[in-house]
Amino acid sequence: MPNYRGSATLRPMSDLSNKHIVLGLSGGIACYKAAELCRALVKEGATVQVVMTEAAAQFVTPVTLQALSNNPVYVSQWDSREPNNMAHINLTRHAHAMLVAPASADFMAKLLHGRADDLLSLMCLARPTETVPLLLAPAMNREMWAHPATQRNMAQLRQDGATVLGVGQGDQACGEVGDGRMLEPDELLYALTALFQPKVLQGKRVLISAGPTFEAIDPVRGITNLSSGKMGFALARAAHEAGALVQVVAGPVSLATPYGVSRTDVRSALDMHAAVMAQVEHADVFIATAAVADWRVAQVAGEKIKKGSDGLPNLDWVENPDILAGVAASTRAQSGDLYCVGFAAETQYLQAQAQAKRTRKGVPLMVGNLGPATFGQDDNALLVIDEAGVTEWPRASKLSLARQLVADIAVRISAKETP
Ligand code: CTP
Q: Is 322 in the pocket of ligand 1 (CB under 6 A)?
A: yes
Q: Is 69 in the pocket of ligand 1 (CB under 6 A)?
A: no
Mutate to test the pocket of ligand 1, among 231, 270, 324 (most ligand atoms within 8 A of CB): 324
User: How remote is the CA of residue 342 from the centroid of ligand 1, in Å?
Assistant: 8
Q: Is 365 in the pocket of ligand 1 (CB under 6 A)?
A: no
- In this structure, are 262 and 232 located in the same domain? yes
Decide if 174 is catalytic: yes
| Minimal-distance CA residue to ligand 1 atom 28 | 294
Q: Give backbone dihedrals phi and psi of 18, rounded to 5 degrees, phi first.
A: 70, 10
Q: Give backbone dihedrals phi and psi of 74, rounded to 5 degrees, phi first.
A: -110, 140
Angle at 308 between CA 306 and CA 314, to 5 degrees: 70
Supply the pLDDT for residue 10: 40
| Minimal-distance CA residue to ligand 1 atom 8 | 322
Q: Is the pLDDT of residue 410 over 80?
A: yes
User: How remote is the CA of residue 243 from the centroid of ligand 1, in Å?
Assistant: 28
Task: Return the ligand 1 atom nearest residue 341 CA.
Answer: 15
- In this structure, are 153 and 264 located in the same domain? no
Q: Is the pLDDT of residue 4 over 60?
A: no
pLDDT in tens, 26-50: 999 999 999 999 999 999 999 999 9
List the CATH number of the domain containing 117: 3.40.50.1950
pLDDT in tens, 301-323: 999 998 876 788 889 999 999 99
Domain boundary among 195, 220, 242: 195
- In this structure, are 218 and 154 located in the same domain? no
- Beta bridge partners of residue 49, listed in sequence order: 22
Q: Does residue 240 lie in a domain region?
A: yes
pLDDT in tens, 342-376: 999 999 999 999 999 999 999 999 999 998 888 88
CA dist., res. 194 & res. 177, Å (int): 29
Domain boundary among 146, 161, 195: 195
User: Taking a C-beta distance cutoff of 8 angstroms, is the pair 224, 264 a contact?
Assistant: no
Q: Does residue 88 lie in a domain region?
A: yes
How many residues are listed for the chain in this entry? 419
**Given the residues 31, 38, 124, 174, the one annotated as active site:** 174
- In this structure, are 149 and 210 located in the same domain? no
Domain count, the chain: 2
User: Taking a C-beta distance cutoff of 8 angstroms, is the pair 282, 204 a contact?
Assistant: no
**Dihedral (C-alpha) 58, 59, 64, 69: value to the nearest 10 degrees?**
-100
Domain boundary among 177, 195, 213: 195
Mutate to test the pocket of ligand 1, among 357, 366, 367 (most ligand atoms within 8 A of CB): 357
CA dist., res. 188 & res. 137, Å (int): 8
Q: Does residue 15 lie in a domain region?
A: no
- In this structure, are 216 and 107 located in the same domain? no
Q: Does residue 278 lie in a domain region?
A: yes
Q: Is 272 in the pocket of ligand 1 (CB under 6 A)?
A: no
| 309 class by beta-carbon count within 10 Å (0-12 exposed, 13-18 middle, 19+ buried) | exposed
- In this structure, are 212 and 342 located in the same domain? yes
User: How remote is the CA of residue 340 from the centroid of ligand 1, in Å?
Assistant: 13
- In this structure, are 248 and 376 located in the same domain? yes
Q: Does residue 85 lie in a domain region?
A: yes
Coil/strand/helix, residue 43: helix
- In this structure, are 173 and 222 located in the same domain? no
CA dist., res. 135 & res. 157, Å (int): 10
Q: Is 343 in the pocket of ligand 1 (CB under 6 A)?
A: yes
- In this structure, are 276 and 389 located in the same domain? yes
Supply the pLDDT for residue 230: 96
List the CATH number of the domain containing 268: 3.40.50.10300
User: Taking a C-beta distance cutoff of 8 angstroms, is the pair 411, 341 a contact?
Assistant: no
User: How remote is the CA of residue 326 from the centroid of ligand 1, in Å?
Assistant: 11
CA dist., res. 64 & res. 69, Å (int): 9
The pTM (predicted TM-score) of the whole model is 0.90
Q: Does residue 12 lie in a domain region?
A: no
Give the single-character DSSP code of 60.
Answer: S
Q: Does residue 386 lie in a domain region?
A: yes
Q: Give backbone dihedrals phi and psi of 215, rounded to 5 degrees, phi first.
A: -105, 110
| Minimal-distance CA residue to ligand 1 atom 20 | 344
Domain hosting residue 372, numbered range: 205-297+317-417
> Which residues, at least 6 apart from 296, have a Cβ–Cβ distance to it below 8 Å?
215, 216, 268, 269, 270, 317, 318, 320
Share of the chain above pLDDT 90, in %: 90
Q: Which candidate, 53, 125, 127, 65, places its Cα nearest to that of 90? A: 127
- In this structure, are 142 and 222 located in the same domain? no
Supply the pLDDT for residue 314: 86
- In this structure, are 122 and 211 located in the same domain? no
Q: Does residue 312 lie in a domain region?
A: no
- In this structure, are 88 and 186 located in the same domain? yes
CA dist., res. 47 & res. 97, Å (int): 11
CA dist., res. 340 & res. 77, Å (int): 55
Q: Give backbone dihedrals phi and psi of 240, rounded to 5 degrees, phi first.
A: -65, -45
